[in-house]
Amino acid sequence: MKRKDPNKQHVETMIGEDVIISGELKLSGGAIISGKIKGDVITSGIIRLTTTGIVEGNVIASEATIGGQIHGNVRAVSYTHLRAHETSLPRVCRL
């Protein structure tokens, strides 16, 4: 049986393209965001923002992969990956 790497982060939450959330989003695990968040996204897990995803606020996560739009700042403990087709580049800070 294959053992899971304890350092590998998992995604527990998926937010679809048709979803709009107004307010701060706090998670304990990772998330894939394809919809729109009007508020900060805070998690100790990973964030994957797809090409259709929009965050109107700050993102704080252990890792962040940004393929959509962020109208705010990104703070990632490990790393932040910005996709090449980005049109709205956020200010990125490493903690």
- Predicted TM-score (pTM) of the model is 0.78
Pairing, β 91-94 against β 73-82: parallel
For residue 6, the model assigns a pLDDT of: 43
User: Residue 1 pLDDT > 90, yes or no?
Assistant: no
pLDDT tens string 28-86? 999 999 999 999 999 999 999 999 999 999 999 999 999 999 999 999 888 777 775 54
Report how far residue 17's alpha carbon sits from residue 15's, in angstroms, rounded to the nearest whole number.
Answer: 7
In whole angstroms, give the CA distance from residue 31 to residue 43: 9
Convert the pLDDT of each residue in 11-36 to its tens digit.
Answer: 899 999 999 999 999 999 999 999 99
Give the list of residues 6+ apart from residue 18 with CB closer than 8 angstroms, or none. 35
